[in-house]
Structure 1
Amino acid sequence: MATIRDIAKKANVAVSTVSYVLNNRKKVKPETKERIMQVIEELNYQPRSVARSLKTKKTLTIGIMLPDICNLFFTETTRGIEDVANKYGYNVILCNTDKDSKKEKEYLNTLYSKDIDGIIFIGTCRNHHIIKNKQDTPIVFINSKVGDNICSVLVDDIKGGYTATKYLLERRKSEVTLLTGPLSRSSFFERMTGYLNALKSEGIEYNELLVHQCDVSFQGGYDIIRTIYDEGSGIKSIFAASDVIALGAVRALIEKGVRVPEDVSVVGYDDISIAGMFIPSLTTIHQPKYWMGEKAAELLIKRIEDRSLKSEHIVLEPKLIVREST
């Protein structure tokens, strides 16, 4: 098995220079770094992670906790995290919790047992007591804010919910049905707050019968629309607080013989990649998913490298993308 000394000898550099490159500790001339990296690849060098972690007190590993890998919002965000992590020499452990508190707890315990350097939550956390007891491990939340002392990357969901609802009210001049995920999650609660603010701005009284919570999935949106129509209710326009809910809703509407957008206009939230490919293509609130993942990873790695840094909260502006569904 190749050693650092073998690399240094073949690259004709000092052992310390190889160490600087491997640990990203000091700047090394680009041509020297490139030569060392080429030798590392030729010799198939595998660093002894245990020894390295004892020396640096880091495992160069971060965990990603997400509730549903099938949701393209999480997939696209994860890609941004992974690309930044790899750039800085960190490995990623992906934990798909299936929105299950017990499964999330098991994953957290596993990550902490491996002396993980940091964790990124995409969405919420169902085991706050565990991360509260591990405050020495840096954490960043995407799409959720859990406190001033934990970093977060967010979109202004109140404004996003307001923009979507206001657009539908101005276009249809009629009631707007809200399909939302669990309101216990801050992102969905804030999108509903925006919905309520838009109703108020138009002088429309809130009707709780127009608000429906469902599973955040294609099936969740599909099932809730089937239920609404089976109960004999009608719909004039829909603001779905997640694209996957919106796409399921559109499918159910079409199966019921309802034309989109002629009979019912639909606006989603997230702007996942398939939203523009769907027929009809989905009008939605855009979130820069990949960029959110990149920024979260950068925040986390900064705090892994320097634990004295204060927490940051990045809030991005939502953007309405108009397509065929309205």
Structure 2
Amino acid sequence: MATLKDIAKHANVSVCTVSKYLSADMTVKKETEERIQLAIKELGYVPNVVAKALKRKETFNVAVILPKINNLYYSEITSGISQTLGKHHYNLFIYEVDNLNLSEDEILQLMRENMIAGIIFIGLFSDTSFRESIHNAVGWEIPVVYVNRCMPYSGFPLVYPDLVQAGKLGAEQLLSNGKQRIAFVHKKLPDDLLGYFLEGYHQAANSEHKPLLIEIEDGMDLSKSCIPALRENNIDGVFVLNEMSAVYLTKALVDQEIRISEEIAVVSLGNSLISQISTPELTCVDLQNRELGIRSAEIILSQIRKQAFESVTVLEPFIVVRKSA
């Protein structure tokens, strides 16, 4: 394996010159740079990144911790992170909590042992994982960002969408289409979190009247559980607070020959490829998932570089109108 001494000899320069050039600590003449680069190429020199990191006590590795990667929701956010980090020559490492089989403290210790420069945590709105143990990373002076959790600021940066505005946009879209009996279909959510969406509904409807709330579970047969409830309550507009659930609901409506949009309009929370290829195409409240990733990466980089950053970043969702409403 080629060494700095071999490179220096091949390029006819000093070892010190090669070392400082590779460390970007000095500028050399273009002719000298070309000789060094040629020597690196011809000798197949590979820098010892680990040794370099240990010497400088820094790395260019940023970790993303999320439940699982095989989900369009997570992959959109991660794509925004990767795009931003790549522009600044940082490496992205993804850790899936579901597959690590480690406790929260063990996962954070793993980050510390691997000299991770910063950690971005991604989860669903109701996910409270790492909420307490994250303070260990803060205590170790590892920059962190907590993404997509709508919660009070507690000492580390937060990036999340405005869920009140999301609820308002979904309700407004249904009301503007003449829908008067509206239901919110959702998976189990904490009361305070559901309250954000309901507050948005009340702002849109300008009324204290609550929408019908229908809670669903994974694997539930919507045609037997959800649709009868919609029929019994004369519901003509549905805001589904989970994109995949919205797809399953529209499928169940089609199977029962219920005309979507005309009889029951459907709005989905979330706007990934799933909504675009659904039948019919789903009208959505777009939460700016990719932008969530971009902003979180920018904040991590600012922390690493000791630059100013926003403690709390709230992104404004927007409506995307398609055929379902």
Q: TM-score, normalised by structure 2?
A: 0.80
**What's the counterpart of residue 23 of structure 2?**
19
Counterpart contact for 2:167–2:199, Cα < 8 Å: yes
Q: CA deviation at 1:299?
A: 1.1
Say whether 1:320 aligns with 2:312. Answer: no
Q: CA deviation at 1:7?
A: 5.4
Counterpart contact for 1:176–1:236, Cα < 8 Å: yes
Cα distance change of structure 1 residues 42 and 296 upon mapping to structure 2, 3 Å threshold: farther
CA separation in 1, counterparts of 2:128 and 2:32?
A: 44
**What's the counterpart of residue 245 of structure 2?**
245
- Structure 2 letter corresponding to 1:194: G
CA separation in 1, counterparts of 2:221 and 2:313?
A: 35
Say whether 1:165 aligns with 2:171. Answer: yes
- Structure 2 letter corresponding to 1:206: K
Give per-residue Cα distances to partners, 1:141-186, cap 9 Å, x unaligned: 2222441532222322211210111221231331211123443397
Q: Which has the larger radius of gyration?
A: 2
CA separation in 2, counterparts of 1:241 and 1:226?
A: 19
CA separation in 2, counterparts of 1:324 and 1:33?
A: 59
Segment of structure 1 superposing worse, 1-10 or 58-67: 1-10
Cα distance change of structure 1 residues 286 and 173 upon mapping to structure 2, 3 Å threshold: same
CA separation in 2, counterparts of 1:27 and 1:84?
A: 27
**What's the counterpart of residue 213 of structure 2?**
211
Q: CA deviation at 1:99?
A: 11
- Structure 2 letter corresponding to 1:275: S
Cα distance change of structure 1 residues 180 and 51 upon mapping to structure 2, 3 Å threshold: same
SS state at 1:323 partner: coil
Q: Which segments of 5 or more consecutive residues in structure 2 lack a partner in the other structure?
A: none
- Structure 2 letter corresponding to 1:19: S
Q: CA deviation at 1:321?
A: 0.7
**What's the counterpart of residue 227 of structure 1?**
225
- Structure 2 letter corresponding to 1:251: K
- Structure 2 letter corresponding to 1:142: V
In the TM superposition, 1:25-64 aligns within 5 A as 45-64=45-64
Choose which of 185, 188, 200 in structure 2 pairs with 1:179.
Answer: 185
Say whether 1:154 aligns with 2:160. Answer: yes
CA separation in 2, counterparts of 1:271 and 1:39?
A: 50
- Structure 2 letter corresponding to 1:211: L
Counterpart contact for 2:250–2:279, Cα < 8 Å: no
Segment of structure 1 superposing worse, 32-41 or 283-292: 32-41
Say whether 1:134 aligns with 2:137. Answer: yes
Counterpart contact for 1:7–1:36, Cα < 8 Å: yes
Segment of structure 1 superposing worse, 134-143 or 181-190: 181-190
**What's the counterpart of residue 259 of structure 2?**
259
CA separation in 1, counterparts of 2:112 and 2:191?
A: 25
SS state at 2:257 partner: coil
Q: CA deviation at 1:57?
A: 1.6
Counterpart contact for 2:166–2:200, Cα < 8 Å: yes
Give per-residue Cα distances to partners, 1:247-278, cap 9 Å, x unaligned: 12212222233221222111112211231222
Q: CA deviation at 1:312?
A: 3.1
**What's the counterpart of residue 112 of structure 1?**
112
SS state at 2:134 partner: helix
CA separation in 2, counterparts of 1:122 and 1:309?
A: 22
- Structure 1 letter corresponding to 2:148: N
Give per-residue Cα distances to partners, 1:62-114, cap 9 Å, x unaligned: 21122342331211110121222233332222122349996655533432332
Q: CA deviation at 1:233?
A: 3.8
Q: TM-score, normalised by structure 1?
A: 0.80
CA separation in 2, counterparts of 1:268 and 1:134?
A: 36
Counterpart contact for 1:160–1:191, Cα < 8 Å: yes
CA separation in 2, counterparts of 1:151 and 1:98?
A: 24
**What's the counterpart of residue 288 of structure 1?**
288
Aligned residue pairs total 313
- Structure 2 letter corresponding to 1:245: S
Q: Which segments of 5 or more consecutive residues in structure 1 lack a partner in the other structure?
A: none
**What's the counterpart of residue 272 of structure 1?**
272
Counterpart contact for 1:140–1:299, Cα < 8 Å: yes
SS state at 2:137 partner: coil
**What's the counterpart of residue 85 of structure 2?**
85
Cα distance change of structure 1 residues 98 and 92 upon mapping to structure 2, 3 Å threshold: same
Segment of structure 1 superposing worse, 154-163 or 118-127: 118-127
Q: CA deviation at 1:319?
A: 1.2
Give per-residue Cα distances to partners, 1:293-323, cap 9 Å, x unaligned: 12211210221222x7454322222211100
